[in-house]
Amino acid sequence: AAKAHGKNCYQVFETRMHEQLLDRLDQESRLREAVHRGELRLHLQPVVDVTTRELRGVEALVRWEDPERGLQPPGAFIPLAEETGLITEIDRWMMIEACRTVREWQESSPETAPHWVSVNLSAANLEVPDLTDRVAYALAGTGLAPECLVLELTETVLMRDIAVTAGRLEEMRELGVRIAIDDFGTGYSSLGYLRDIPVDVLKVDRSFITGLVGHQRQQELVRAILQLGHTLGLKVVVEGIETEDQLDLLITLGCRFAQGYFLGRPEPVASLRSRLATVPAP
Ligand code: C2E
Ligand code: MG
Ligand code: MG
Ligand code: MG
């Protein structure tokens, strides 16, 4: 009986593994199709100048409008896209869509349009031989000025092979685009790479903001990061501001640019633009 039981368990296990595998393959081919079927959506989150509360930049964040499961956040499909290599197609689509959208906005309402748009690039992009051409193509095809495009890479990506990475980034910077370090402060980073890698923007990770209010040590840490960035001549954007208290405190710590639910959630360009048109800056 024990043996039969064991065998049953094994069969159940095997069937489940099989189902999971099929599910994954199905998910993968549907994700592959999503890019071509036009199911990806560009959402934009405001980056605000905290001294004036005016919109200065936007971050492009991908969504998948899955006909079966509804609107999917990046966490639901980016890991699979990264494992399968589809991510470079997604990032390419997002870069063009982001450049086009912001260029149109700047043309039609130069007064309210963001000065820059940042797009996220996963690690695999640095292995795409024609990455610089892709960036150049997105700019040329849409007419967006190069200085309006920011490419966000995470610390861990930047540190993989500093010499190679620095070369690739320098190539792209020669086009006139800017480079941001995303989730700054979360990697196992020595600060040494700030010396070797050409960077223009630091994006301070949201984890530094959670628990900021009432915690002196955290505040000093954020103040130091802001000072470091500013001393190096970089723009520093603090991520994840969810409350007015956090914002007020950040201003006293020397913060100039911030992003977070309190200042605006990611949303499609049309709703962002209509909200900006009707609601005056607080
Ligand atoms: P990220 O680049 O660090 O983007 C910021 C994430 O924090 C976004 O999540 C945003 O919605 C969220 N966020 C912003 N403000 C707040 C806040 O005040 N509180 C909280 N709790 N969250 C906030 P989202 O859109 O789910 O994106 C998650 C991550 O997925 C991004 O982190 C980025 O690493 C990745 N991602 C998004 N779009 C793309 C893309 O087009 N390409 C690639 N390669 N990765 C992307
Ligand atoms: Mg980002
Ligand atoms: Mg970030
Ligand atoms: Mg982050």
Q: What pLDDT digit, counting tens, does each position of 112-122 carry?
A: 999 999 999 99
Answer yes or no: are the C-beta atoms of 91 and 85 closer than 8 Å: no
The mean pLDDT value for 166-194 works out to 89
For the question of an ipTM over 0.95, the answer is yes
CA of residue 245 relative to chain centroid, distance: 25
Sign of CA pseudo-dihedral 229, 233, 234, 240: positive
Distance set, CA 68 to CA 16, 65, 123, 133 (Å): 22, 9, 29, 35
Helices of type H across the chain: 2-37, 78-84, 87-108, 131-142, 155-158, 162-173, 193-196, 216-231, 244-252, 269-278
Residue 215 reports pLDDT greater than 60: yes
d(CA 130, CA 119): 17
Q: What is the pLDDT of residue 121?
A: 97
| Region 121-140 average pLDDT | 96
pLDDT tens per residue, range 147-167 = 999 999 998 888 788 888 899
CA 80–ligand 1 middle distance (angstroms): 16
Question: Average pLDDT of 31-51?
Answer: 96
Q: Ligand 1 — pocket residues by CB below 6 A?
A: 45, 61-62, 73-75, 78, 87, 90-91, 94, 120-122, 152, 182-183, 206, 240-242, 259-261, 266
Q: How many CA atoms lie within 13 A of 212 on its CB side?
A: 28
Going by pLDDT thresholds of 50, 70 and 90, the confidence category of residue 187 is confident
> What is the per-residue pLDDT for 4?
55
CA separation for the pair 226, 157 (Å, rounded): 22
Residue nearest to atom 37 of ligand 1 (CA): 61
On whether the CB atoms of residues 163 and 197 are closer than 8 A, the answer is: no
SS3 for 257? strand
How much is the pLDDT for 201?
97
Is it the case that residue 104 has pLDDT exceeding 60?
yes
Which has the closest alpha carbon to 170: 137, 202, 135, 198? Answer: 198
Rounded CA-CA distance 146/24 in Å is 38
